[in-house]
């Protein structure tokens, strides 16, 4: 017998003849499932119906191809204006999921795709969980990334299920885990091939098996007398990473788990303070900025790139090729000979082994990456990416040789960060087919990719480039052709100011400590060492004009201390790590001094039309440089500092805004 409640917009309930109920969430008017107030209200009505006519078991699944449930409705966070509002928001999900957990019939969450935040908390309230054995299945409690905590039962149920250490790691990092890891942790009862999901769900929910519980040391550490030991260690780790307490959510998670067994209703004041904090508001802003970048590639005709040909197997070109193959594309990688391509293949193999875990999947990814010194893949490629040396005449010669071999409709892209796109494309018969697709190093970790276009371009090439970037799981940022585009342009004065501080006698470790305390993921001098001081200096010579490079930079490059790649720069490097030594007490206002030129340059790029508006500029600088997310972005930070940072005006010559600050290697074909 099938029944359908006509008033339910977001849920469909179907009952089998044997009494098993299948409940599908398919939020109306949305491409994704999110737990809004309306969705939860209807869910309670569903539970009322099931209470009145009890099923043999309940399976909850998604009707969306975009995943299971992506969490709470972020838009409703803006309605929280008081402690009472915060309490009502928490109680809404807490009460509903407790009701699900107490259901007198067995319940199962059938998870395909993303199961995040409130979606995972709903799944945790079920007796069982099965996950689809697919690459896009991911489970996480990412609330900490929004400056809040899992308030709908996650802080209580996750430690009870997988043990305190593993649960705290998930909650404090927001890290996503795949289907394999979920099953290994015990977060899922099993991972199942998609074709067997329905049969497995039926068997599991009617099995009569007891609910899983954490065992061993992880389970024992949930015991109240031992929680303090786990909490103390976790607290120490959090404070080491965030000594100034810019992000209050991690400590709130630890406190609520330790003192209240994960019950946020017993920590009312802390909950309200957290939800209403500036950090939470700014991190929600960052989330929305991220969604806006994702939206750059939405709504356009889907023309997937299946074959990519990359010319230049240096660090950037090789790693771009490796990432494309990792994401399922066929890739041919060209350089002068196979010996130059070999290091890129070695790095790719390391990447796949680390990321994919499964040897067969890693082998398949490596098989998709083909050495092609003769460039035969050009004729088959949907997209050809050039990542060779930053010499205009070399690139132009390459384009002349490539253009006659491109198949109809193929796109040509350059990864340049320091040359004019308008000048480069002038040698082509069809200049509009060349677009800038500017990746950052390391390609596997950096989420942002700049999409560079010229005035007068038709939208087509930029839209196809953005769609390609989205295929790679990256965030496309549209920028106009200008020296340094956005990210490298704003990093230039920031790095220069840090080096001026070294010339004034401030220790590099002290400078970097001031900026990491401010919230940067890496200090400016460690960043310069990582990029390579020769690259920083050479880039500076391009447009410095009357500005003399800092003495500390000239001296180090003159003696061959180029940073990480030579083992010495501003720091000594061992095993890939900077040996910084003890940082001193930074002068008052040092961090503000260094971020001010970065903020001013960001404002100038907006004023000059390099990027469309301040929000996109904030998004680009956050995701391209790691600018402290808790601030909401450099321009948002400036506006909330009472305008103390100077408005855009004439900018003195500095290290070249064309600088390849985020790139460390190229190769000629």
Please check whether residues 166 and 143 belong to one and the same domain. yes
For 656, phi then psi, to 5°, come to -50, 125
Identify which of 473, 317, 431, 472 has the alpha carbon closest to the alpha carbon of residue 384. Answer: 317
460: left (phi over 0), alpha (psi -120 to 50) or beta: alpha
Residue 649 within any structural domain of the chain: no
Please check whether residues 29 and 156 belong to one and the same domain. yes
484: left (phi over 0), alpha (psi -120 to 50) or beta: left
CATH of the domain at 260: 3.90.226.10
Residue 668 within any structural domain of the chain: no
Please check whether residues 226 and 306 belong to one and the same domain. no
Could you tell me which residues come within 8 angstroms of residue 241 by beta carbon, excluding any fewer than 6 positions away?
A: none
Residue 169 within any structural domain of the chain: yes
Count of residues making up the chain? 669
Tokens 């704003």 correspond to what residue?
490
Please identify every residue annotated as catalytic.
417, 438, 450, 488
CATH of the domain at 476: 3.40.50.720
Which of 260, 276, 292 is at the close of a domain? 276
Give the whole-angstrom CA distance, residue 544 versus residue 45: 67
Contact between 657 and 309 (Cβ < 8 Å): no
Distance between first and last Cα of the chain: 67
Please check whether residues 322 and 256 belong to one and the same domain. no
Q: Which domain holds residue 542?
A: 487-642
Parallel, antiparallel, or unpaired for β 11-15 and 20-25?
Answer: antiparallel
Identify the helix (H) or strand (E) that includes residue 23: strand 20-25
Please check whether residues 31 and 167 belong to one and the same domain. yes
Could you tell me which residues come within 8 angstroms of residue 432 by beta carbon, excluding any fewer than 6 positions away?
A: 425, 457, 458, 461
Question: How many H-runs (helices) and E-runs (strands) does the chain carry?
Answer: 26, 19
pTM (2 d.p.): 0.87
Please check whether residues 257 and 310 belong to one and the same domain. no
Parallel, antiparallel, or unpaired for β 128-132 and 11-15?
Answer: unpaired
Please check whether residues 614 and 532 belong to one and the same domain. yes
**Starting from the edge strand earliest in sequence, which strands make up the sheet with 57-62, in order?**
11-15, 20-25, 57-62, 107-111, 128-132, 190-192
Q: What is the pLDDT of residue 653?
A: 31
Residue 669 within any structural domain of the chain: no
Please check whether residues 192 and 154 belong to one and the same domain. yes
E strands, 101-218, are 107-111, 114-116, 128-132, 138-140, 177-178, 190-192
- 3-state SS of the chain: helix, strand, coil percent to 5? 50, 15, 35
Q: What is the pLDDT of residue 299?
A: 61
- Counting the structural domains of the chain, the total is 3
CA distances from 175 to 111, 141, 144, 169 (A): 17, 7, 10, 8
As averages over each run of 10 residues, the pLDDT of the chain (669 residues) reads 64 93 95 95 96 96 94 84 85 96 97 96 98 94 94 96 96 95 96 96 95 92 91 93 90 95 89 88 94 83 84 94 96 95 96 90 96 96 94 93 93 90 92 93 93 86 92 95 90 91 96 93 92 75 60 94 93 92 91 95 95 96 94 94 46 32 44
Contact between 338 and 371 (Cβ < 8 Å): yes
Please check whether residues 389 and 428 belong to one and the same domain. yes
Please check whether residues 447 and 516 belong to one and the same domain. no
- Number of C-beta neighbours around residue 202 at 10 A: 18
Give the whole-angstrom CA distance, residue 529 versus residue 541: 18
Contact between 329 and 365 (Cβ < 8 Å): no
Q: What is the pLDDT of residue 539?
A: 58
Give the whole-angstrom CA distance, residue 192 versus residue 320: 32
Identify which of 398, 417, 424 has the alpha carbon closest to the alpha carbon of residue 488. Answer: 417
Which of 449, 481, 513 is at the close of a domain? 481
Please check whether residues 351 and 492 belong to one and the same domain. no
What is the dihedral angle through the alpha carbons of 478, 479, 485, 486, rounded to the nearest 10 degrees? -70
Q: What is the pLDDT of residue 642?
A: 56
Q: What is the pLDDT of residue 428?
A: 92
Which of 430, 459, 481 is at the close of a domain? 481
Identify the helix (H) or strand (E) that includes residue 52: helix 37-52
CATH of the domain at 613: 1.10.1040.50
Please check whether residues 38 and 144 belong to one and the same domain. yes
Contact between 100 and 122 (Cβ < 8 Å): yes
Residue 6 within any structural domain of the chain: no
Residue 665 within any structural domain of the chain: no
Residue 468 within any structural domain of the chain: yes
Q: Residue 363 is encoded by which pair of tokens?
A: 């082998």
For CA atoms 635, 637, 641, 646, give the dihedral sign: negative
Contact between 315 and 323 (Cβ < 8 Å): no
Give the whole-angstrom CA distance, residue 318 versus residue 313: 4
Helix (H, G, I), strand (E, B) or coil at 111: strand
Residue 360 within any structural domain of the chain: yes
């Amino acid at each position: 017998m099938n029944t359908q409640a006509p008033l339910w917009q977001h849920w469909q309930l179907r009952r089998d003849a044997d009494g098993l109920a299948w409940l599908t969430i398919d939020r109306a008017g949305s491409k994704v499932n999110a737990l809004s107030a309306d969705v939860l209200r209807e869910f309670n009505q569903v539970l009322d119906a099931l209470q009145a006519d009890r099923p043999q078991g309940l399976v909850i699944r998604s009707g969306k191809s975009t995943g299971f449930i992506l969490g709470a409705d972020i838009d409703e966070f803006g309605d929280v204006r008081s402690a009472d509002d915060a309490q009502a928001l928490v109680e809404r999900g807490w009460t509903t999921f407790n009701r699900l957990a107490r259901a007198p019939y067995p319940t199962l969450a059938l998870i395909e795709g993303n199961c995040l935040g409130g979606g995972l908390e709903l799944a945790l309230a079920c007796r069982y969980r099965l996950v689809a054995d697919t690459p896009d299945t991911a489970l996480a409690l990412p609330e900490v990334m929004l400056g809040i905590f899992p308030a709908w039962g996650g802080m209580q149920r996750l430690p009870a299920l997988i043990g305190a250490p593993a649960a705290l790691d998930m909650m404090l990092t927001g890290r996503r885990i795949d289907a394999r890891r979920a099953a290994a942790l015990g977060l899922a009862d099993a991972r199942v091939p998609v074709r067997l999901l329905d049969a497995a769900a039926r068997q599991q929910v009617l099995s009569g098996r007891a609910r899983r519980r954490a065992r061993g040391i992880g389970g024992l550490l949930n015991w109240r007398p031992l929680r303090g030991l786990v909490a103390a260690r976790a607290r120490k780790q959090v404070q080491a990473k965030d000594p100034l307490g810019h992000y209050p959510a991690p400590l709130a998670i630890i406190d609520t788990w330790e003192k209240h067994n994960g019950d946020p209703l017993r920590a009312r004041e802390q909950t309200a303070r957290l939800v209403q904090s500036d950090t939470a508001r700014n991190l929600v802003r960052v989330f929305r900025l991220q969604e806006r970048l994702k939206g750059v590639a939405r709504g356009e005709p889907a023309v997937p790139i299946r074959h990519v040909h990359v010319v230049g197997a240096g660090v950037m070109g090789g790693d771009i090729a490796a990432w494309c193959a990792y994401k399922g594309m066929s890739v041919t990688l060209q350089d002068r000979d196979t010996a130059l391509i070999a290091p890129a293949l070695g790095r790719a193999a390391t990447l796949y082994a680390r990321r994919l875990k499964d040897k067969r999947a890693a082998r398949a990814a490596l098989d998709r990456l083909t050495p092609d010194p003769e460039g035969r893949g050009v004729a088959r490629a949907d997209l050809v990416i050039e990542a060779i040396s930053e010499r205009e005449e070399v690139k132009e010669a390459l384009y002349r040789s490539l253009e006659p071999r491109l198949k109809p409709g193929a796109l040509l892209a350059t990864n340049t960060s320091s040359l004019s796109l308008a000048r480069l494309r002038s040698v082509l018969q069809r200049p509009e087919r060349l677009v800038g697709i500017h990746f950052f190093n390391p390609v596997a970790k950096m989420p942002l990719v700049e999409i560079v276009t010229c005035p007068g371009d038709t939208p087509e090439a930029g839209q196809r480039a953005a769609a390609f970037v989205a295929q790679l799981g990256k965030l496309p940022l549209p920028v106009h052709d200008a020296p340094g585009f956005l990210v490298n342009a704003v990093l230039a004065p920031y790095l220069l100011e840090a080096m001026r501080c070294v010339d004034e006698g401030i220790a590099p470790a002290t400078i970097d400590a001031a900026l990491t305390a401010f919230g940067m993921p890496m200090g400016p001098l460690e960043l310069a060492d990582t990029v390579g001081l020769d690259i920083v200096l050479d880039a500076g010579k391009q447009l410095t004009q009357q500005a003399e490079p800092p003495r500390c930079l000239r001296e180090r490059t003159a003696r061959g201390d180029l940073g990480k790649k030579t083992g010495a720069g501003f720091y000594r490097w061992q095993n890939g790590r900077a040996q910084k030594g003890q940082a001193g007490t930074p002068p008052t206002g040092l961090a503000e001094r260094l971020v001010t030129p970065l903020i001013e340059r960001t404002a100038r790029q907006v004023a000059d039309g390099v990027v469309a508006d301040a929000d996109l500029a904030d998004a680009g600088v956050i995701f391209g440089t790691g600018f402290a997310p808790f601030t909401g972005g450099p321009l948002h930070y400036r506006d909330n500092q009472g305008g103390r940072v100077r408005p855009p005006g004439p900018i003195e010559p500095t290290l070249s805004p064309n600088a390849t600050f985020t790139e460390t290697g190229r190769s000629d074909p």
